Structure 1
Amino acid sequence: MTTAQTLASVVSAEDLEHRTTPPAGLRPWIAEIAHIPTTDPGPVAFSHLPLAATSIVLRREASGRRDAWVLGPRTRATYAHPERPAGCTRIRLAPGAAQPLLGVPAAELTDRVTLLSALPGPAAELADVLLELDPDEVTAFLEAELPHRVTEDPVRRDHRRLLNSAVTAMDTTAPVGELATGLAVSERQLRNLFTAGIGVSPKHYARITRLRQVLAAGGNTPWSDLAHSSGYYDQSHLSADFRSLMGVAPTAYFRGDVPAPTPCQALTRR
């Protein structure tokens, strides 16, 4: 097989999202707010793609049960089979926002699922109210509440801004040292910024970014062209990295032959 062919037999949870850009007052801490309408269980397996970001997830089951979780950065794909009708609102945090909103560095949340109410940051104080809101009320509520509750010292605010500059300037094909030099910081400082503020190293952030470019391209793009345009050395490099992060070869994934679904991760209680 020489091309990537996306089939309906595997669907990313992100395919179901209706995304909105938050208002300017929230952008220092929130990158995106997305809603997934109530979805009935079906024969299609859901993939949860690697994502170098932390999210607050407000989950609503058709039965009336509601939960507020924090999903840390996901370094590898997971696969699930929904058991009950449910929808959710995903509040994706901006780089560097985990500490001021959740009270812990992003590195403590990587590959973990935690109850929002169990965390020490100001966002936990809003958990009960957030669970009572309808999806279309969440943004306005956060816009009214967060700016008055989040406090940052000048050093942490500068680190967050530097991290955002690093993410914007990152070239996934260039050495990390070049990015550090362009930002006038050491490689060690840059690694520490990424680990604390995003939850993964600059190298792993670049890997996830390249992978998501491949997944977004899909369609009928020849693998060799896709490898080149996404910053891989060659097609073999693309295939090996894809298998490492997605748990399956790219040809198998795009035809829907994915790993067996696994139970939801147990909540981490602090």
Structure 2
Amino acid sequence: MGSLNVPPALLRWVSGIDVATATAGPTAVDVPDHATTLLLRVERRELIVMGPRTRAAYHAGGAGHSCVRVRMRPGRAQALLGRPLRDLADRVLPLRALPGLDIDQFATDPVTALDGAWAGLPVPPARLDEAARLLAGGTVAAAAARLHLSERRLHTLFLDGTGLSPKRFARIDRLRTVLAAGAEPGRWADIAASAGYYDQSHMTGEFRRLMGVPPAAFTAGRFPAATSCTERQGHP
């Protein structure tokens, strides 16, 4: 997988763009992700939207097609699709097209294609970005208070803009912090504290629920049994 350099103007919409080609190998792991992702299967010119993933998936690695993956910032996919995302969690849906996006150019030069398609679009307010930042180190109540919103209103904004409740969004964010920290013997307590968990036991329990195995087993490569890669599809 290769990450592309994203210009500042496009970073208002996306948090990253990757180009990948599946190859035969060991078990592949799709970790939980609170972002909505646009994906183009290059050979088929097939565009899909992947909602946030609330549990890890393990499947047998195998040779496959190339794809372009665009990880969207909170609230941006809602603006592009013109609909709330509250029913997209753990779903993969086909997209017929996106306004202004040249699919052939997107397949060969994703950054230029997206920059051209979205340059003139009004960027949604950054309220969800700020809320996500506040949740990373605090509670839903504290985040709502800082934003001068009721907790109920914040809950609605997150469901519509990310497909997740604020609490579930924060859980996945903490888990991703743990995964990004890597694993070194004797550091679990420090990692738990830096990720915002009450203690190491709390982190271990949450990790097991979202990843299917405890942290030590995961870092040692003792994964759950791999399954075939399946998708539930519908129409957005």
Cα distance in 1 for partners of 2:189, 2:135 equals 23
Instruction: Identify the match of residue 80 of structure 1 among 59, 66, 74.
Output: 59
* Partner SS for 1:200: coil
Question: Which of 108, 114, 121 is the matching residue for 1:142?
Answer: 114
Judge conservation of contact 2:22–2:65 (CA < 8 Å) in 1.
yes
Q: Distance in 1 between matches of 2:116 and 2:195?
A: 40
- Residues 1:110 and 2:89 are matched in the alignment: yes
In the alignment, residue 70 of structure 2 is paired with which amino acid? I
Residue 5 of structure 2 corresponds to residue 33 of structure 1: no
CA deviation profile, 1:15-65 (whole Å, cap 9, x unmatched): x3x2235323333322221222x23212x11111111110101123xxx44
2:234 is aligned to 268
Q: Structure 2 vs 1, CA of residues 41 and 66 (structure 1 numbering), >3 Å: closer, same or farther? A: farther
Counterparts of 1:215-234 in structure 2 under 5 Å? 215-222=179-186, 223-234=188-199
Identity of aligned residues (%): 38
In structure 2, distance between residues paired with 1:248 and 1:219: 15
CA, structure 1 residues 133+264, in 2 after alignment: closer, same or farther (shift >3 Å)? farther
Q: TM-score, normalised by structure 1?
A: 0.78
Letter of the 1:73 counterpart: P
Instruction: Tell me how far apart the structure 1 counterparts of residues 98 and 185 of structure 2 sit (CA, whole Å).
Output: 42
Q: Deviations over 1:121-168 (max 9, x none)?
A: x72663xx32x33655111112112234x468xxxx3xx321122123
Q: Deviations over 1:155-209 (max 9, x none)?
A: xx3xx3211221233343x221111111111111111111111111111111111
How has the CA–CA distance of structure 1 residues 41 and 124 changed in structure 2, closer, same or farther, with 3 Å as cutoff? farther
Aligned residue number for residue 5 of structure 1: none
Within 5 Å, give how 1:1-270 maps onto structure 2: 16=1, 18-36=2-20, 38-42=21-25, 44-60=26-42, 64-117=43-96, 123=98, 126=101, 129-130=102-103, 132-133=104-105, 135=107, 137-148=109-120, 150=121, 157=124, 160-172=125-137, 174-222=138-186, 223-262=188-227, 263-270=229-236
Gap runs ≥5 in structure 2: none
Q: So what's the TM-score if we normalise by structure 2?
A: 0.88
Structure 1 residues 125 and 204: CA distance shift in structure 2, 3 A: same
Tell me if the contact between 1:80 and 1:264 (Cα under 8 Å) persists in the aligned partners: no
Which residue identity does 1:79 align to in structure 2? Y
Give RMSD over aligned pairs: 2.2
Large movers: runs of 4+ above 4 Å = none
Give the superposition deviation at 1:83.
3.4
Code of the aligned partner of 2:109:
E
- Please give the alpha-carbon distance, in whole angstroms, between the structure 2 residues aligned to 1:41 and 1:249: 26
Q: How far, CA to CA, are the matches of 1:41 and 1:145 in structure 2?
A: 34
The DSSP-based 3-state class of the residue aligned with 1:144 is helix
> Structure 2 vs 1, CA of residues 21 and 179 (structure 1 numbering), >3 Å: closer, same or farther?
farther
Q: Report the Cα distance in structure 1 between the residues aligned to 2:37 and 2:27, rounded to whole angstroms.
A: 22
3-state SS of the aligned residue for 1:26?
Answer: helix
CA distance in 2, matches of 1:258, 1:125: 42
